[in-house]
A and B are shown apart, each in its own frame.
Chain A
Amino acid sequence: MNADLVPGRHLPDFRLPDHVGNQRSLSDLAGGDPMLLHFYRGWWCPKEQAYFRKLLQLQDEAEVAYTRFVSVSVDTAEESAAFRAGLGARWTFLSDHERRCVHELGLLETTDRSHNPFVPTVLVLEPDLRIHAAFNGYWFWGRPTNEELRQAFRTITRSIRSDWEVPAR
């Protein structure tokens, strides 16, 4: 895995088409919130299908927690949109079908010469794209549990919300 994708480093602000076909920049997608950035192999991978079922459970919490999810693969925008709809995911999917970003980030899974996909990787980002936590999901158990993600979101949110401690009257 790319040695630059470690806590404390900033991710480059790349642009990719989303599942609708619109070009989106990572900084725009982050807004002012913590963000889960999830690179996955593709719709066809059983490990990804299993992991998405975990993220779907967290979706119902994230929707009220000022937290954003973005999933990225080398699937086409149309494949991403169909996969997203089939899952019932309510977050943004990005398509790196041209494989520009996968090379730029050094995340090409070289052992899969058929799909040339991303190495499954989960990054938890602060609003300025600083990496708070990084997980190598090449082996399934390397992926973060939902509880690990909750703890990361809590830490980031505590640091960015000036009113984390309830304001006094």
Chain B
Amino acid sequence: MSPCWVARCSTRPRGAIASATLGDDGSDGMLAAWQADDEPQPGAVKIDPRCIDADGDAAWASLVLAPRGTWLLFDDVAVSHAIRSVLAGPPVDVVSTFVTGDDRFVGAITAVHDDEPTRLRDDPFAAIFPTCLVRVGPGLLGRTPTPVGPMTQRYGAANPWPWDRFPEARA
């Protein structure tokens, strides 16, 4: 299966499998998703494909994004600690790290299909890179199964966390 990507855009781009407005009145542009082997457009990042649902409801999201040109190795201690905090912490509806290349952590998305962003107050990934709380319109975010735990590793070097199995896993 091709990787899943997301990127902020001003309008829904061609080839996107899902997209949603950002901001209360859509004034913050859009977030769009693709399924593609290669980066579909500059600035796109890889996301756990289970987060994406073209029929998904509106959500509040804590969007953590590395400043342009900045990244951490995915195995950096700070990233591991944040993942442990996610596993130990209260439940959310959507969670995925963002990855570029094979091993670059460039942010994360944590989201809840709630009317208020109360459950996003303590996003562990917000300790790593700047975050913004944003209203995501319908049409993009589904629900990620709560990670089983205690695994903090990725299933394959180029994949985000918490994708949950190797492609050739024995059934």
Contacts and interface: CB of A to CB of B under 8 A. Distances in A.
Interface of A: 18, 20, 22, 24, 28-29, 31-33, 59-60, 62-64, 66-70, 85, 88-92, 127-128, 160, 162
B93 to A, nearest CB: 10
Contact of A64 (B91, B152, B164): B152
Nearest to B83: A63
B149 interface: yes
B121 interface: no
Given A59-B150, A66-B151, A67-B151, A90 B88 contact: yes
B148 A91 contact: yes
B150 A69 contact: yes
A124 to B, nearest CB: 15
A11 to B, nearest CB: 15
B149 A22 contact: no
Contacts of B91: 20
B14 interface: no
Contact of A92 (B84, B148, B168, B170): B148
A128 B88 contact: no
A28 B170 contact: no
A107 to B, nearest CB: 21
Contacts, number: 71
B101 interface: no
9 contacts: A18-B146, A20-B146, A29-B148, A31-B169, A33-B169, A62-B151, A68-B149, A89-B88, A89-B150
Contact of A91 (B150, B155, B168, B171): B150
B88 A63 contact: no
A63 B146 contact: no
Contact of A32 (B145, B150, B152, B169): B169
**B150, B151, B153, B168: residue with the most chain A Cβ atoms closer than 10 Å:** B150
A53 to B, nearest CB: 15
Interface of B: 84, 87-88, 91, 145-146, 148-153, 155, 164-166, 168-171
Nearest to A59: B150
A160 B149 contact: no
A66 B153 contact: yes
A88 B164 contact: no
Contacts of A59: 150
Contact of A63 (B145, B152, B165, B170): B152
Nearest to B168: A162
A160 B165 CA distance: 13
A92 B146 contact: yes
A138 B81 CA distance: 36
B152 to A, nearest CB: 5
Contact of B150 (A24, A28, A62, A127): A62
B151 A63 contact: yes
Contacts of B152: 63-64
Contacts of A31: 148, 164-165, 169
